[in-house]
Amino acid sequence: MPLFLQRALTAGIITSILCAFVGVFVITRKMAFFANAVAHSSLTGIAIGFLANTNPFWSAIGFGALVGIGIGYLYRKSVLFIDTIIGIFLPSSMALGIILIGFVKGYKPSLLSYLFGDILAVTNSDLYIISALSLISFVFLIVFFHEILIIALDEDWARVKGVAVNPIDYTFFVILSLIIVVSTKIVGIILVSALIVIPPASAMNIARNFKETMIYSVLFGIISAILGIWFSYLFNISTGPSIVITASIIFAITLIARRKK
């Protein structure tokens, strides 16, 4: 197996597991739109990286984390619903990114890979970044799994139970933002929400409880990544869309299975 394909599979599997795992909480909290907002806002971070002549991956991660904190802060402090807050951040941050990109001189091939994904071009450096951020995210999600679950199901009940809702929630927003930005390297800004939403949605079609939802979601995420990358390599098609289409087919199969059941 070629080395670039090994790197692609490693990055795809790691990212798909993370997205599928955290996606269950996103679906439970009705925050699917959040993934789109952070992913599109990362365009500004990428543009800043190009303008500053630094790695756009790092600047995208930093700006995405700031957007996640901003959305979480306004959600806590304002009277607006979260979908309204996200609806403000998404176009504003993306518009800023488009303006900044206009100041970047010359051809920008790396920028196109962020927009549409280019997992086959993942470098060792990218893989190290993805692995490090994934490890941090996994540790947080596992250590605070119970608290995050209670907040997702009933925030008022979580406060009564003595859960430190605000610190945990802010950290969750940041971690989710990091996961989303990292995933843009795999499927691109335009399609990243699919990795967060589709595997958990597929799992919910056939799962009987929350534990099964988690297991099926991660399983479907891994299958989508492996088959999507394989189809991409076999038929010479774009990898990001191939992964998303594979995940969508799995969703259709589970939906049919649910109706028959």
Q: Which is it for the CA torsion 141, 224, 187, 131, positive or negative? A: positive
Which residue reads 């795992």 in tokens? 21
Q: Which amino acid is at 58?
A: W
Predicted pLDDT of residue 112: 64
Predicted pLDDT of residue 73: 86
Per the structure block, which two tokens stand in for 219?
A: 């399983």
3-state secondary structure of 251: helix
Question: CA-CA distance, 148 to 176, in Å (whole number)?
Answer: 12
Predicted pLDDT of residue 203: 95
User: Dihedrals φ, ψ of 149, to 5°?
Assistant: -65, -45
**pTM of structure:** 0.84
Vertex 32: Cα angle to 114 and 139 (nearest 5): 75
User: Which secondary structure element, helix H or strand E, spans residue 2, and what is its range?
Assistant: none
What are the boundaries of each domain within the chain?
A: 3-260
Per the structure block, which two tokens stand in for 253?
A: 């199969």
Pair 41, 97: CB distance under 8 Å: yes
Pair 31, 173: CB distance under 8 Å: no
Predicted pLDDT of residue 261: 64
Query: In angstroms, what CA-CA distances link 32 with 158, 222, 223?
Result: 22, 20, 21
Predicted pLDDT of residue 108: 60
Which residue reads 């008022």 in tokens? 156
Instruction: Give the mean pLDDT per block of 10 residues along the chain (261 residues).
Output: 79 88 88 81 85 83 86 82 83 86 70 68 79 88 90 87 88 88 77 87 92 93 92 85 92 88 64
CATH 1.10.3470.10 holds for 3-260:
yes
3-state secondary structure of 65: helix
Q: Please, what is the angle between helix 165-187 and helix 56-77, to 10°?
A: 140
Question: CA-CA distance, 183 to 179, in Å (whole number)?
Answer: 6
Pair 15, 187: CB distance under 8 Å: no
Per the structure block, which two tokens stand in for 195?
A: 């990795």
3-state secondary structure of 117: coil
